[in-house]
Amino acid sequence: MKIPFNKPWFAGNEIQHIVNAAYSGHISGNGNYTKKCHTLFEERYGIKKCFLTTSCTDAFEMAALLIDFKPGDEVIMPSFTFVSTANPFILRGATIRFADSLTDHPNIDVDCIESLINQKTRAIVVVHYAGVAVDMDKVMALATKHNLIVIEDAAHSVESFYKGKALGSIGHFGAFSFHETKNISTGEGGMLAINDPAYIKRAEIIWEKGTDRAAFFRGEVDKYGWVDIGSSFLPSDMIAGVLFGQMQQVDSIQQKRVEIWNRYHQLLLPLQQKGLLKTPRIPAYAVNNGHLFYLQMPDEESRNNMIDYLNNNGVQAVFHYLPLHKSKFFASRHDGRDLPNADHFASTLLRLPLFYELPISFVDSISNKVISYFQADHSYKYDLPG
């Protein structure tokens, strides 16, 4: 049996909440569980207003609609990210300026953002890779100076913080994912966090297909109709029930994930000290939410060899993003700048299994397989430093 990279886990009462929603007679969107989840996220993470969506991609689409991009408007974001960070802005006709990663972390190199800002720039998107915070003070200062909107891709970042503030609660917008591969999961699911109150009223309309239905149900208007553009972003209340069930157990989920992460780190740090690979760096201002544990190998060949070696030894290890500036869709649209750090992480990074039910004894055996890779005789394929 191969140890899978990820395995979804129902933490407790999810099924009961689905049943409750079904018996309540309200299984479409914006029901009881949706409202409970909104309140829970707003209170726990200090978010002004939450809107549950069917995915993080959808949360981004809502944000892109709210920003009202005009064709030619520009948005700056890292190249080392998932397509969902970029697609919603392309759909609105915006132009993307991809930025490079830091040399020692996959996150956007905040110091290179200012050189990409011009008269057409409207927004900056940051991705907190692996749930590790981007230096948000710097990002928000740039945004204030140039009058830009900040969107945090918090897909990896439930229960992660920057200087005590929850990720997703700092920028004008934050977008969460509850996809099967994330810490808190409903299969497919997401949430738009709005921290600038100026956007809340319109968000409610865009969320409800461009109608003032929410105001109608509050008794503020006597009939509801088509008042703006919008789409169908609401998940069923049964999905919200699953999210509520997961969040009831968020502390134990997080504790377990961080325990697994720390064990990997403890066992694999000696390889870093020998110069054989690198383990993730967590800046002092950030918190580790145990979203994913990655390694950086010296080059692409050794990375691919390590993935093959682990897969041949019963461990599903996987690489991560291909840089978007070089993607089939975007390459011809890119402005030609080299983004060497994004390329570097794309070619050298690999992720190890990390999920709630992974026993610590398996973490130990996976780590031992990583260690034994360096003792196996394929290591002649490249020069080991030291």
Ligand X SMILES: *Cc1c(COP(=O)(O)O)cnc(C)c1O
| CB closer to ligand X, 176 vs 373 | 176
Note whether 177 binds ligand X by CB under 6 A. Answer: yes
Compute the least distance from the CB of residue 351 to ligand X, in Å. 11
Note whether 185 binds ligand X by CB under 6 A. Answer: no
Note whether 55 binds ligand X by CB under 6 A. Answer: yes
Specify which residues 75 forms β-bridges with. Answer: 96, 123
| Selected binder of ligand X within 127, 242, 286, 366 (CB under 6 A) | 127
**Among 376, 378, 329, residue whose Cα is nearest residue 90:** 329
Note whether 367 binds ligand X by CB under 6 A. Answer: no
Compute the least distance from the CB of residue 127 to ligand X, in Å. 5
Mark 232-244 as b/e (b = at least 16 C-beta within 10 Å).
ebbbbbbbbbbbb
Binding mask 66-85 for ligand X (x = CB under 6 A): ---------------xx-xx
| CB closer to ligand X, 31 vs 189 | 189
Note whether 155 binds ligand X by CB under 6 A. Answer: yes
Identity of the amino acid at 306: M
Note whether 106 binds ligand X by CB under 6 A. Answer: no
Note whether 341 binds ligand X by CB under 6 A. Answer: no
- Total residues contacting ligand X by CB under 6 A comes to 14
Please give, one letter per residue, the 3-state secondary structure of 229-283: CCCECCCCHHHHHHHHHHHHCHHHHHHHHHHHHHHHHHHHHHHHHCCCCECCCCC
Note whether 179 binds ligand X by CB under 6 A. Answer: yes
Contact segment (CB under 6 A) with ligand X among 106-114, 149-157, 270-278, 369-377 equals 149-157
Note whether 6 binds ligand X by CB under 6 A. Answer: no
Task: Give the separation between CA 181 and CA 356, rounded to whole angstroms.
Answer: 11
Specify the 3-state DSSP secondary structure of 168.
coil
Cβ atoms of residues 98 and 77 within 8 Å:
yes
| Selected binder of ligand X within 18, 37, 56, 67 (CB under 6 A) | 56
Compute the least distance from the CB of residue 60 to ligand X, in Å. 7
Distances (CA, A) of 149 to 106, 142, 154, 196: 22, 10, 16, 10
Cα atoms in the Cβ-side hemisphere of radius 13 Å centred on 262: 9
Compute the least distance from the CB of residue 56 to ligand X, in Å. 3
Cβ atoms of residues 42 and 48 within 8 Å:
yes
Binding site for ligand X (CB under 6 A): 55-57, 81-82, 84-85, 127, 153, 155-156, 177, 179, 190
